[in-house]
Amino acid sequence: QFLYHFCRYYSTWGHVATLAEEMKKGADSVPGVEVTVWRVPETLPEEVLGKMHAAPGREDHPVITASQLAEADGILFGFPTRFGMMAAQMKAFFDSTGGLWQAQSLSGKPAGVFFATGTQGGGQETTALTAVTQLTHHGMLFVPVGYTHGAGMFAMDEVKGGSPYGAGTFAGADGSRVPSDAELALAAHQGKYFAGIAKKLKWSRFT
């Protein structure tokens, strides 16, 4: 029996999409886990996206609907930061899940977060903290990565995103910075770690 694990994200310049792919690689390494990467609907018009030099939506990552969330056994949510909180596109998607909330369709499902910020002080922790409110109202189980990635999380020899709340990257104010090897490694680790936790939770229901 497979554990169906969704990685759902919004990405403006492609940084969060890159992290999502690394999450998938990590999760795919866990036997019995099947991962699907989805993106949430865009809310900005094409004209505005063009002025922002936004990356085109990845065709290999289909657009998800709120009802499809209930099919997952665990969900990792990824999004860029806007003034220390999740981007409006992701918040709009959460706002569309009222039916799931009323039925508590996501209650008991594990969830984690990952993110991208423009600067070092842009919200690598506050974005995660404020996102937890969405999970709480749905009754989801927040699974942080903690310091399970080991020594690399304590290293101070380079600038890197990520925190005990989840993997992260710095995009730069203009989006020109790309995720570093250290950031990608943490994302892959989080995917594997989260999938292992989600698998244990699912199997425990049958014992």
What pLDDT shows up at residue 207? 57
Compute how many other C-beta atoms are within 10 angstroms of the C-beta atom of residue 71.
10
In a domain, residue 74? The reply is: yes
**Residue 166 CB contacts under 8 Å (≥ 6 apart), including other chains:** 112, 113, 114, 115, 128, 144, 145, 190
The predicted pLDDT at position 101 comes to: 98
Question: Looking at this protein, which amino acid is placed at residue 131?
Answer: A
Residue 89 belongs to a domain: yes
Q: What is the pTM of this model?
A: 0.91
Determine the angle formed by the axes of helices 15-28 and 181-204, rounding to 10 degrees. Answer: 50
Q: Of 205, 206, 204, 163, whose CA–CA distance to 182 is shortest?
A: 163
The confidence score (pLDDT) of residue 2 equals 47
- C-alpha dihedral (5, 10, 12, 14), degrees to nearest 10: 0
Domain count, the chain: 1
Residue 34 domain-assigned? yes
Which H helix or E strand runs over 198? helix 181-204
* Calpha distance 122→125 (Å, rounded): 9
Contact 165, 185 (CB under 8 A): no
96-to-41, 62, 158 alpha-carbon distances in Å: 11, 18, 39
In this structure, is residue 195 part of a structural domain?
yes
From first CA to last CA, the distance across the chain in angstroms is 14
Q: Is residue 116 part of a domain?
A: yes
Per-residue pLDDT of the chain (207 residues; tens, 9 = 90+): 445 567 778 787 789 999 999 999 999 999 999 999 999 988 776 787 677 777 777 778 889 999 999 999 999 999 999 999 999 999 999 999 999 999 999 999 999 999 999 998 888 999 999 999 999 999 999 999 999 999 889 989 999 999 999 999 999 888 889 999 999 999 999 999 999 999 999 877 665
Burial class (CB in 10 A: 0-12, 13-18, 19+), 177: middle
pLDDT at 45: 67
Q: Give the pLDDT score at 100.
A: 98
Tell me, yes or no, whether 140 lies in a domain: yes
The verdict on residue 132 lying in a domain is: yes
Instruction: Report if residue 207 sits inside a domain.
Output: no
The boundaries of the domain holding residue 185 are: 4-202
Looking at residue 73, what is its pLDDT?
94
Residue 106: its pLDDT value, please?
Answer: 97
Residue with tokens 């220390």: 84
Residue 100: is it exposed, middle or buried by C-beta count within 10 angstroms (0-12/13-18/19+)? middle
DSSP code string of 11-61: -SSSHHHHHHHHHHHHHHTSTTEEEEEEEPPP-S-HHHHHHTTPPPPPTTS
Residue 12: the pLDDT is 75
CATH number (domain holding residue 33): 3.40.50.360
